[in-house]
Amino acid sequence: MKFEKLYNSRFFTFFEFFYRLVILNFITVLFSILGLVVFSLMPALVALIIIIRSLKGDNEFPVLTTYINAFVKNYRRVLKLSIFYLIIGLVLVFNTYFFYLGYVQNQGVINEVFYYLALFIDLVFILVFTNACFICVYFPNLNNRKIIKYSFILLRAIPRQALLILLMLVGMVVILYINILNIIIIFIFIALFIFISNLLLEKIYLSLVAAGVKSLDAFIYIRRQGENS
């Protein structure tokens, strides 16, 4: 009875949730590294979103095998998108580094303004990239060109949510520089960021899904695995 009471307690629910975030964060980082980040970050994030949006209520499923299936099944579809966003990201990083050198070497208000403006553009790009990952999951019927298009355009439809996600990203980066807290957050950084982002976006994006289109979730891959076995 005591074990059952503990199992159903809020503490156990929170601990289980935290444990899942840690595991998912580790898997995502591992798969990203295995693909040298360049070729696997976006597929890893897409698989992470699929798993996280399926972790509701009493839904039980094998997290690791389902994550691997989601990663593999979406890899080829997402790879071209990854390369596109990689090229933009590299240009922006070079741009930021250029203005950083100008600010460090020459100081001056103008150089400082350009440097912080470049950092802001980098944050917006991360937001666009994250949005593209969510679009891949919620709108699987869209081709790559439309995913790129809507990764920018849809931000205008969710200004409040986009601002909250941007502030959350900045806040989590700041926390990484705080002793003790950074040790905790580093183990769940990516998974927690995606989880909160999904809470902010899910209801809106599901309302925009076209009739007859089903957003991706873990159970699609579980059924496919069962049919193939």
Condensed to tens digits (0 to 9), the pLDDT of residues 126-141 reads: 999 999 999 999 999 9
Residue 54 has pLDDT above 50, yes or no: yes
pLDDT band, very low/low/confident/very high, at 40 (cuts 50, 70, 90): very high
What does the domain layout of the chain look like in residue ranges?
Answer: 2-228
Residue 4 has pLDDT above 70, yes or no: no
Q: How much is the average pLDDT of 80-99? A: 94
Q: Write the Ramachandran bin of 60: left for phi over 0, alpha for psi from -120 to 50, otherwise beta.
A: beta
Q: How much is the average pLDDT of 81-101? A: 94
Q: How much is the average pLDDT of 5-30? A: 80
pLDDT band, very low/low/confident/very high, at 1 (cuts 50, 70, 90): very low
Structure tokens at 104: 């460090």
Q: How much is the average pLDDT of 69-74? A: 94
- Residue that is written with structure tokens 């183990």 in the block: 187
Residue 155's CB is within 10 A of a number of other CB atoms, namely 18
Contacts of 209 (CB under 8 A, 6+ apart): 138, 139, 215
Q: Which of 127, 120, 125, 123 is nearest to 197 (CA)?
A: 127
For all residues of the chain together, what is the average pLDDT? 88
DSSP label of 55: -
Residue 225, H or E segment? helix 218-228
The Cα–Cα gap between 227 and 220 comes to 11
pLDDT band, very low/low/confident/very high, at 59 (cuts 50, 70, 90): confident
Helix axis angle for 10-34 and 63-106, nearest 10°, is 70
The whole-number pLDDT of residue 9 equals: 62
Q: How much is the average pLDDT of 22-31? A: 94
The whole-number pLDDT of residue 2 equals: 52
Buried b (16+ CB within 10 A) or exposed e, 27-43: bbbebbeebeeebbbbb
Residue 210 vs residue 176, higher pLDDT: 210
pLDDT digits (tens, 9 = 90+) for 164-209: 999 998 888 888 777 666 667 778 899 999 999 999 999 999 999 9
CA distances from 190 to 21, 169, 180, 186, 210 (A): 9, 10, 18, 8, 29
Q: How much is the average pLDDT of 153-162? A: 92
Residue 63's CB is within 10 A of a number of other CB atoms, namely 16
Q: Are 114 and 102 in contact (CB under 8 A)?
A: yes
Q: Please tell me the pTM assigned to this model.
A: 0.91
Residue 23's CB is within 10 A of a number of other CB atoms, namely 17
Residues in the chain: 229
Q: Which of 173, 210, 215 is nearest to 190 (CA)?
A: 173
* SS3 state at 111: helix
